[in-house]
Amino acid sequence: MARISLQNLRHSYLDDPQTEDDWALKRMDMEWSDGGAYALLGPSGCGKTTLLSIISGLLTPTEGRILFDGEDVSDIPPDQRNIAQVFQFPVVYDTMTVYDNLAFPLRNRGMAEAEVDGKVREIAAMLDLEDMLKKRASGLTADSKQKISLGRGLVRSDVNAILFDEPLTVIDPHLKWILRSKLKELHQSVGTTMIYVTHDQTEALTFADQVVVMHEGTVVQIGTPVDLFERPKHTFVGHFIGSPGMNVLPCTLEGAMPYFDGVPVPTEYPAPGNGDAERLEIGVRPEFVSFAEDGIPVEIVRLSDAGHYQIVDLRHGEHLIKLLAPEGAALPSESAYIRFDPAHTRIYADGWMMG
C-alpha cells in the first residue's frame, strides 16, 4: 500500500509537442493518500487512461515524476512497481485453470507452492470463485473473468495500488451492481489504494471517496461526490455530473449582483468582481430551479417523466433551462416564472467557479 504523488507530471504521445493541445495530459500535481478509493472520471479521450498507464508504469511520462511513498518510481517497470491492474476487457490466461490464473503472479515471483495455495484459496473465497477453481478460465462468463483478473491483483500482498480501467464495460447491467458493491466491499476489507477509471458517473460516485474529474487532459476538480454535485468548480463538472446536468446561463454583473437577461439572480456566493473574465455564467442544477410567482419568465417546452421525478424543459428566449419537479407535482400550463435557489447558484468566470 502506498501514497501516490504525481509531481509536475505532463505527457504527450508526440515526439515533439509544440502547442498546449499536443499534450494528452497537461501539467498536474496530485497527492493520493494511502488506502483511498479514487475514481478518475471524464469523457472518452480526456486523458484518464493515459494517467492510469503512467501510474502503472506502462507509459513513461514525458515530464515529471511519480512517487510511491516518497520514492521515485518514474523509471521503474510495471512488474517492479507492485501495482495490479484490471483492464476494460477481462484478461485471463485461457489455457490455465482459475486456480493457476490466480497463482500465476505469485509463481512468477518465485513464491513457495504451499504459500501460493493458501493465498489463492483466501482470495478465491473473497471473490466467490471457490467452486470454479478447477475449471479452465476460457469458458467462464465475463464477470467471472473480470473477478479473476482482479484476483490476480489481490493475491499479491505487496501491491501498492489496484488500478481499474473501466472494468465493468463488458459486464451485463444486472451484474454490474453486484460487482460494483463487491469492489466497494473489497476496498473496505483489504484497504489497498484503488484507482478506478470510468466515464460512468454512477460508477464513479458509488465507488469512490474522492472523484477526480478530468477534461481535455486537465484535472478540473477533485472532491467527494457531494462536492462535485453541490460545488462544481467548473461548468464542465456541472454538465458532466448529474442527470440532467447543470444549467449554465450567460450573465452580467452589476456590482455583486448577477443578472440573467436583465433579471437579477440572487446568490449567496457573490462575485468579488468580474476579474478579467471574457465569459461570465451562472450555474444552477435543475434540482434547485423552481416555479415562482415572479422571476425569470419561461415557456414550457417539454415534459419527460423519469420515474420518481419529472424533467421539465423550459425556454427563455434562446436559452434552454431544465427544472426537476417531484412526481405528480402540479405544473403551470404554458408560461411561468422560475427562480433559482440562491444557496446553490454560482457564478463562473471563463468556466471556473468564482468566490
Partner 1 sequence: MTNKTAYPKAWLFVLPVVALVAFNALIPLMTVVNYSVQETFGNNVFFWEGVKWFEQVLNSERFHASLLRQLAFTGIILAIEIPLGIAIALTMPTRGFWASVCLVLMALPLLIPWNVVGAMWNIFALPEIGLLGQIINGMGFDYNFTQQPIAAWFTTILMDVWHWTSLVVLLAYAGLRSIPDAYYQAAKIDGASGWAVFRYIQLPKMKRVLTIAILLRFMDSFMIYTEPFVLTGGGPGNATTFLSIDLVKIALGQFDLGPAAAMSLIYFLIVLLLSWVFYTLMMRTEEQ
Q: How many CB atoms lie within 10 A of CB 190?
A: 17
**Residue 144 DSSP class:** H
Q: 138 to 177, contacts with partner 1 by CB under 8 A?
A: 149, 152-153
d(CA 1, CA 18): 37
137 part of the interface to partner 1, by CB under 8 A: no
Tell me the window of 42-50, 71-79, 201-209, 250-258 that interacts with partner 1 (CB under 8 A): 71-79
108 part of the interface to partner 1, by CB under 8 A: yes
DSSP string, 88-130: SS----TTSBHHHHHHHHHHHTT--HHHHHHHHHHHHHHTT-G
95 part of the interface to partner 1, by CB under 8 A: yes
Whether cis (ω within 30° of 0) applies to the bond prior to 326 is: no
112 part of the interface to partner 1, by CB under 8 A: no
Nearest to 346 by CA among 232, 220, 262, 212: 232
96 part of the interface to partner 1, by CB under 8 A: yes
Specify whether the backbone of 169 is left (phi greater than 0), alpha (psi in -120 to 50) or beta: alpha
285 part of the interface to partner 1, by CB under 8 A: no
* Size of interface with partner 1, in residues (CB under 8 A): 24
Q: 47 to 66, contacts with partner 1 by CB under 8 A?
A: 56, 58
87 part of the interface to partner 1, by CB under 8 A: yes
Nearest to 11 by CA among 26, 32, 31: 26
273 part of the interface to partner 1, by CB under 8 A: no
d(CA 200, CA 216): 17
Q: 194 to 233, contacts with partner 1 by CB under 8 A?
A: none
Q: How far is the CB of 199 from partner 1 (least distance, A)?
A: 17
Q: How far is the CB of 339 from partner 1 (least distance, A)?
A: 51
Residue type, 272: P
Tell me the window of 24-32, 80-88, 256-264, 331-339 that interacts with partner 1 (CB under 8 A): 80-88
Please select the residue that binds partner 1; options are 3, 136, 176, 182, rule is CB under 8 A.
Answer: 136
CB nearer to partner 1: pick between 84 and 314: 84
Please select the residue that binds partner 1; options are 42, 61, 105, 351, rule is CB under 8 A.
Answer: 105
Count CA atoms closer than 13 A to 256's CA, side-chain side: 9
Q: What grid cell was written down for 115? A: 504459500
Specify whether the backbone of 95 is left (phi greater than 0), alpha (psi in -120 to 50) or beta: alpha
Please select the residue that binds partner 1; options are 1, 67, 76, 91, rule is CB under 8 A.
Answer: 91
93 part of the interface to partner 1, by CB under 8 A: yes
Contacting positions for partner 1 (CB under 8 A)? 56, 58, 77-79, 83-85, 87-89, 91, 93-96, 104-105, 108-109, 136, 149, 152-153
